[in-house]
Amino acid sequence: MFKIDHIGIAVKNMAESNELFARLLGTPHYKVERVESEHVSTSFFRIGDSKIELLEASDPESAVAKFIEKRGEGIHHIAFEVVDIHAEILRLEGEGFVVLNRVPKLGADNKLVAFLHPKSSNGVLVELCQSV
């Protein structure tokens, strides 16, 4: 069964958004992590069993930079924690979803991640993640 691991939010200025979300959620971010493979810096806030992940592009070629350029700041993806990411990739491909990386890669938070193209999921970029 899927469970929401986090919601990713694309921001222009991590420092300003860390401060804004700390005021919104009433709790500060608990970690910052740079994900070189995705050209992003991330920061995490805990909300119950889930998290908010702020994403700031570290490179103009980053998917997050392109997203902000086209659509502005806002919700970038929803991440579902799965038990077996390889099995889910095969299952979801069988269901007709477009998997962007069939080989899971190491993402933030020490998790293996794979993405589904938003065009195959009602305009929502979906991340599957599994703790390593």
- The contact set with ligand CMX (CB under 6 A) reads 8, 35, 38, 40, 42, 55, 63-64, 66-67, 70-71, 76-77, 100, 107-108, 115, 117-118, 123, 125
The dihedral through the CA atoms of 9, 107, 98, 87 has a sign that is: negative
Q: Which residue is nearest to ligand CMX (CB)?
A: 63
Shortest Å, Cβ 65 to ligand CMX: 10
CB-nearer residue toward ligand CMX: 87 or 124: 124
> What's the closest the beta carbon of residue 6 comes to ligand CMX, in angstroms?
8
35 in the Ramachandran plot: left (φ > 0), alpha (ψ -120 to 50) or beta? beta
> Tell me, what amino acid is at 53?
E
Closest separation between CB of residue 23 and ligand CMX, Å?
23
Cα–Cα distance, 67 to 8 (Å, whole number): 12
Distance CA 103, CA 85 (A): 10
- CA separation for the pair 40, 54 (Å, rounded): 10
In the bound state with ligand CMX, the residue whose beta carbon lies nearer, of 23 and 101, is 101
Nearer to ligand CMX, 87 or 98 (CB): 98
Neighbour tally for 101: CB within 10 Å: 11
- Report, in Å, the least distance between residue 34 CB and ligand CMX: 10
